[in-house]
Structure 1
Amino acid sequence: METLSIALQPYKDTVGAVAGVVTIAQFFSGVFMCKDIYRNKSTAGIPSMPFIGGFVIGVLMLKYSLILDDAAMLIVNLSAVVLNILYTAFYYIYSQDRNVEIFKPLSYGVALIACLLGYATWEDDTLLEHRYGLIVTILMLALIGSPLIELNEIIASKDASCIPFPLTFMGALCTALWLIYGIILLNVFMIVQNLVALVLCVVQLILCFMYPKALVNTDKKML
């Protein structure tokens, strides 16, 4: 690992810059989901979790950026919060069951934000950065892997349309770049975090290619 890190050192700034740009670009991948919603005039088959979860994680990461006093991180996560609010509002317009799809998960998300921000106010400052960062990382990985909760149903129905392909593809690209950056820095926490996230994204992408929505719809028409 150390040998690889040394070999990649000349590319440190380039990898970091590209990872930052791709991360911001990832936030706009939700536009493709909104396009599908608008075309179908319905949210059927499209979960709200990527948007609501993105908003929750964005707010929590905003707090983390303030803890780290990182201006660049602050701007990135502020952009994530604003965009996910817009995506959620768009989702709301076309939602058929707003209580289940919007209000219920959003209330859980707001409660989680309140709890963690409250925790951040009383935790020891010397421990806050590591512990809060660990909590947010776990939540982020849970959000990334959330579509796999329906793994049995995906395999049984041969339909992976519940997995948001644009977000997952961009997520895989982002985590791969940050993984390389973590290797360059020899940051174990960053390496483990992005390696797990990358595996989760790759598994979901494999499912998307194995069970594409278009194939399911074609099969149904043939029947």
Structure 2
Amino acid sequence: MLLLTNEQIKNLLATSATFTTVLQFLTGVLICRNYFKKKSTGESSALPFISGLLSCSLWLRYGFLKSEQVIIFVNIIGVFLFACYCLTYCLFTINKKRFLHQILLIMTMITFTIIYSKIEPNDIQASKLVGLICCSVGVFFFASPLIKLRHVILTKNTDCLPFPIILANFFVTLQWYVYGWLIDDNFIQIPNFLGCILSSIQLTLFVIYPSKSDVRYKPLNSIDF
């Protein structure tokens, strides 16, 4: 029987987690494709793109501080994709002023984080603070869908929940949690563990409250985050 070493398991998991995370990032292409077709963003929110850009930018900085090549690689792709999604949203939204204010807010946060991490003489302290910020943003990002739980419970219907995205979140966060455990990094473990738990709760709702419509979930391009 072939037994893999911890290093081999870590490398396999890093490859798998990177692949599934990039696939998850690419779901934004479907949403932007719909914007191009309709020449409008409709009532959709920019929050997924803005929070994605913020999260990937912060994790990218954390990856550089920790010299974690896997974290660096996946978040370079994430920053590029979410920047493209934000640009697309800006082109087609009628509320450009509000959107640009939101972009300015996250860019300010990213800039201050980078400046602090550069001027802080203690690299360990810098990585801890940046990791804490990444962790906080990650928890907020994963917890945001919980605002719909009350509606699901009251209506006993899961039509408002995007099943494919929730399922993808479950597998992605599970892989990153295990990866964080293997490299003994609490800042990677904590938000992904919570994300995995929250995704599990949402998946359980599909069993308790099955969809009442013929369509089991909303299309990606009509999801209201």
Verify same fold: TM over 0.5.
Answer: yes
Pairing partner for 2:116 from 119, 144, 150: 119
Query: C-alpha separation between the residues in 2 aligned to 1:105 and 1:54?
Result: 13
Cα distance, 1:48 vs structure 2: 0.7
Between the two proteins, what is the percent identity of the paired residues? 24
Closer/same/farther in 2, CA of residues 73 and 184 from structure 1, 3 Å limit:
closer
Cα distance, 1:109 vs structure 2: 0.8
Closer/same/farther in 2, CA of residues 211 and 193 from structure 1, 3 Å limit:
same
Query: C-alpha separation between the residues in 2 aligned to 1:42 and 1:159?
Result: 27
Cα distance, 1:148 vs structure 2: 2.9
Cα distance, 1:121 vs structure 2: 2.9
Closer/same/farther in 2, CA of residues 196 and 142 from structure 1, 3 Å limit:
same
Q: Which stretch of structure 1 is more off in the superposition, 65-74 or 177-186?
A: 177-186
Query: C-alpha separation between the residues in 1 aligned to 2:97 and 2:210?
Result: 32
Pairing partner for 1:17 from 15, 18, 43: 15
Any conservation in 1 of the 2:18–2:70 contact (CA below 8 Å)? no
Q: Give the unaligned 5+ runs of structure 2.
A: 219-225
Name the one with the larger helix percent. 1
Say whether 1:60 aligns with 2:58: yes
Cα distance, 1:203 vs structure 2: 3.9
Any conservation in 1 of the 2:58–2:130 contact (CA below 8 Å)? no
**CA RMSD of superposed structures (Å):** 3.4
| 2:13 alignment partner AA | V
Cα distance, 1:134 vs structure 2: 1.6
Closer/same/farther in 2, CA of residues 138 and 172 from structure 1, 3 Å limit:
same
1:179 matched to which residue of 2?
A: 177
Cα distance, 1:151 vs structure 2: 4.7
Q: Would you say how many aligned residue pairs link Structure 1 and Structure 2? A: 210
| 2:15 alignment partner AA | A
Query: C-alpha separation between the residues in 2 aligned to 1:56 and 1:212?
Result: 36
Q: Give the unaligned 5+ runs of structure 1.
A: 1-5, 218-223
Please list the CA deviations of residues 140-168 of structure 1 after superposition, one character each: whole Å capped at 9, or x if unmatched.
Answer: 2212222334554666686865x665544
Any conservation in 2 of the 1:32–1:166 contact (CA below 8 Å)? no
Closer/same/farther in 2, CA of residues 129 and 48 from structure 1, 3 Å limit:
same
